[in-house]
Amino acid sequence: MKFLGQPVQRFANVDSTNAVARRLAERRAPEGTCIVAETQSAGRGRLGREWHSPPGGLWLSVVLRPKLAARDIGKLSLVAGVAATEAIREVVRLPAMTKWPNDVVVAGKKVCGVLVEGRWQGETADFLVAGIGINVAIDLAALPPDVRATAGTLLEPRDPADALAVREALLGSLLKKLETSYRRFLSGGFSGILEKARLYSDTLGRQVVAAGSDARIQGTAVGIASDAALIVRTPSGDVRVVSGDVTIRGVSGGYSG
Residues interacting with ligand BT5, by CB under 6 A?
16-18, 40, 43-47, 49-52, 59-61, 102-103, 110, 113-115, 131-133, 135, 147, 151, 257
Q: How many CB atoms lie within 10 A of CB 30?
A: 12
| Segment 245-248 long-range contacts (CB within 8 Å, at least 24 positions apart) | 245/210, 245/211, 246/99, 246/100, 246/101, 246/203, 246/208, 246/209, 246/210, 246/211, 246/221, 247/208, 247/209, 247/210, 247/211, 248/99, 248/108, 248/202, 248/203, 248/206, 248/207, 248/208
Closest separation in Å from C-beta 63 to ligand BT5: 12
Q: Which residues pair with 223 in a beta bridge?
A: 231
3-state secondary structure 33-57: CEEEEEEECCCECHHHCECCCCCCC
Rounded to whole angstroms, how far apart are CA atoms 164 and 157?
10
Q: Considering the complex, what minimum distance in angstroms separates the CB of residue 179 from ligand BT5?
A: 18
Query: Judged by CB, which is closer to ligand BT5: 147, or 169?
Result: 147
Q: Which of residues 209 and 233 has its CB atom nearest to ligand BT5 in the complex?
A: 209
Instruction: Select 50 or 238, whichever has its Cβ closest to ligand BT5.
Output: 50
Nearest distance in Å: CB 143, ligand BT5: 6
CA distance 202 to 224: 12
Contact 112/132 with Cβ under 8 angstroms? yes
What's the gap between Cα 15 and its chain centre? 18
Please, which residue, 149 or 233, has the CB nearer to ligand BT5? Answer: 149
CB of 162 to ligand BT5, least distance (A): 20
Least CB distance to ligand BT5 at residue 70 (A): 19
By Cβ distance, which residue is nearest to ligand BT5? Answer: 113
For residue 138, the minimal CB distance to ligand BT5 (Å) is 7
- In the complex with ligand BT5, which residue's Cβ is closer, 77 or 181? 77
Closer of 18 and 188 to ligand BT5 (Cβ): 18
